[in-house]
Amino acid sequence: MINITLPDGGIKQFEAPVSGLEIANAISPRLAKEVLSITVNGEVLDLTRKIDSDATIKLNKWDDQEGKHAFWHSSAHLLAEAIEALYPDTKFGIGPTIENGFYYDVDLPAGKVITENDLEIIEKKMLELARQKNDIVREVVSKAEALKRFTEKNDPYKLELISELEDGTITLYHQGNFTDLCRGPHLPNTEHIKAIKLLSVAGAYWRGNEKNKMLTRVYGISFPKAKLLEEYLVLLEEAKKRDHRKIGKEMDLFTFSQAVGMGLPLWMPKGAQLREQLELFLKKVQKNFGYEQVITPHIGDVNLYKTSGHYEKYGKDSFQVIHTPQEGEEYLLKPMNCPHHCEIYKARPHSYKDLPIRYAEFGTVYRYEMSGELHGLTRVRGFTQDDAHIFCTHDQLKDEFKKVIDIIFIIFKALDFKNFTAQISLRDPKNTEKYIGSDENWEKAERAIIEASAEKGLITVTETGEAAFYGPKLDFMVKDAVGRSWQLGTIQVDYNLPERFELEYTGADNQKHRPVMIHRAPFGSMERFVAVLIEHTAGKFPLWLTPEQVVVMPISEKFNDYARKVSNILNISDIRTVVDDRNEKIGRKIRDNELKRIPYLLIVGEKEAESELVSVRRQGEGDQGTMSLNEFADFISNEVKQQLNSIYK
């Protein structure tokens, strides 16, 4: 007899060996039907694996990540089985699970392609195979045996994978006529897979290397119940409606023009208004934190970027140099603001008493992203960073770092970004020659970042070897509507540029010292930030950001003058208004869908015009009553203030 400890601490005794499925059955037959995998002493295993000694277990169902994992992994095998049946002689790469679903990389026989239209056929085949209720059987094989089997199948990808595995650790999984090299775990039987949707098909390089052959990758998702699939598809549809490209078009925020060039966004009046509000907000915060605004040009002498080292690293792969009538004179569109700010720092001598110095600029930069990388506003070729560079002493580094984290917190709070990931990127200690700067400085900087993050209560993930070559960094990632992760805020410590630009300050000891530089951009870039903001809010911005807060609507053209007067008076109080001229021959009529995005509607007619009043309606909430202009101005300012005050708490 062996003791099996359950998650609630209860212990059950079984005759060894016992399988997960048998344990589940002993608890309840219904559980046995729902359970998908088993965690035994922390290791996730097939339900059919025999346990032969005391163990702590957890039975994983659909709601458990481990359960979904096994489910989707088996679904990937089912996909491969279906493809093999429909396209004989296909060679198989890998077929893992992903956050939502699974994919399989396949190398189709010459001349065959899978297009979106074929997905439905493959889906049907998968369901047909699932209904055969085949057991999924695990087999342990020697390396020699594995190599032999896949040599027979003539599958170069699996052979490559096997050749890298250690003998004794190799397992195969069989279901029906299909066999795959796989570590598992899997479902006991394909019958659990009841609903399948193949989502897309795309190319993917074998092992992610662009020098390798491009395989066909089929993405899919599967569920134990049809209803769950329906719900997921609805969720996907909802996410698509929040796409910033769609909303940006609907709300007239920004556009792209082929005549201007790809990846070069054009901000329309309302988008510019939104962006301006964000900029004003950050400028105000930064002012409180002791930043000074600077302004630098969009181009710089090529030699500036040779000094900074950027030209050498990226010159060939970026926008090319700008020539002038003067022979030999060459300029570059600026790909970053740092060198310019270094030159500002350098323009005057500095005392340790002046530090830290914080130069901020909404600096527009140009980077030649590869054409396939461009994506709405999230990845563009010309964008504005909310950039700032802090020049400080080593001793001030940690404190400055913490202050930058504070700014990022303020912004994320202001816009209700709760689901962000903070990632600390450190250098690879085994490969220190890749990085510049002394070991001592690196250790100091890394410690400063780690401690500053910890002291700020930030939950971080740490990536070793992901640091920039000039210093460690802390990045803030936020997900868009469909779950793609984008880097927004970034804080980077830099030892490289102060060195290259020979930046100095005079210390208390009357000696020259080198300052440390912090690059930081809380939004990351205005473009990407606005994109993510749109997807988070689905275009319903907080009142303080809304491009148009109030629409004034006269009930007839007789009251147009009064409507315009109302608008002007409110504008003086910084309330962004627009007049609906629907009853006048000249002027702009506010479109219905436009109207629905404006929070307040002021109706003005005879009663209002006589005693300088407005009738207020709040979008979605109906009549708010009649009030004087001053009352309304206070009313709306209070709402804005409330929103902003809650940010600082």
Q: Which residues bind RNA (CB under 7 A)?
A: 113, 115-116, 200-205, 208-210, 214, 216-217, 219, 245-246, 249, 256, 258, 262-263, 310, 313-314, 317-318, 335-336, 367-376, 379, 468, 482, 484, 551, 553, 555-556, 558, 582-583, 585, 589, 591-592, 595-596, 598, 600-601, 603-608, 615, 617-619
Q: Which of 68, 69, 125, 367 is catalytic?
A: 367
Q: What are phi and psi of 109, to 5 degrees?
A: -60, 150
- Say which residues have a Cβ less than 8 Å from residue 629's Cβ, sequence separation at least 6: 566, 569, 570, 612, 613, 614
- Please count the helices (runs of H) and the strands (runs of E) in the chain: 20, 35
Q: Which of 69, 286, 338, 580 is catalytic?
A: 338
Q: Which of 175, 286, 385, 423 is catalytic?
A: 385
Task: Measure CA 507 to chain center.
Answer: 42
Known active-site residue 473: yes
Over its C-alpha atoms, the chain yields an Rg (Å, rounded) of: 31
Q: What are phi and psi of 401, to 5 degrees?
A: -60, -45
Q: Which of 387, 475, 494, 581 is catalytic?
A: 387
The CA angle 389-518-339, to the nearest 5 degrees, is 50
Nearer to RNA, 46 or 594 (CB): 594
Percent helix, strand and coil across the chain, each to the nearest 5: 40, 25, 35
Question: Would you call 630 exposed, middle or buried from its count of C-beta atoms within 10 A (0-12, 13-18, 19+)?
Answer: exposed
CB of 179 to RNA, least distance (A): 26
Known active-site residue 519: yes
In one-letter notation, the amino acid at residue 394 is H
CB of 104 to RNA, least distance (A): 12
- Say which residues have a Cβ less than 8 Å from residue 640's Cβ, sequence separation at least 6: 543, 544
Nearer to RNA, 113 or 572 (CB): 113
d(CA 112, CA 456): 56
- Say which residues have a Cβ less than 8 Å from residue 227's Cβ, sequence separation at least 6: none
Nearer to RNA, 65 or 209 (CB): 209
CB of 116 to RNA, least distance (A): 6
Known active-site residue 389: yes
CB of 619 to RNA, least distance (A): 4
CB of 92 to RNA, least distance (A): 17
Known active-site residue 387: yes
Nearer to RNA, 6 or 86 (CB): 86
Q: Which of 519, 520, 528, 576 is catalytic?
A: 519
H helices of 366-464, in order, are 394-414, 439-455
d(CA 12, CA 1): 10
Hey, what are 317's tokens?
């792969």
Task: Measure CA 30 to chain center.
Answer: 39
Known active-site residue 12: no
Nearer to RNA, 226 or 482 (CB): 482
Three-class secondary structure of residue 367 per DSSP: coil
Nearer to RNA, 22 or 584 (CB): 584
CB of 216 to RNA, least distance (A): 6
Known active-site residue 73: no
CB of 345 to RNA, least distance (A): 17
d(CA 513, CA 395): 12
Evaluate whether 301 touches 331 at the Cβ level (below 8 Å).
yes
Known active-site residue 132: no
Catalytic residue list: 338, 367, 385, 387, 389, 473, 519
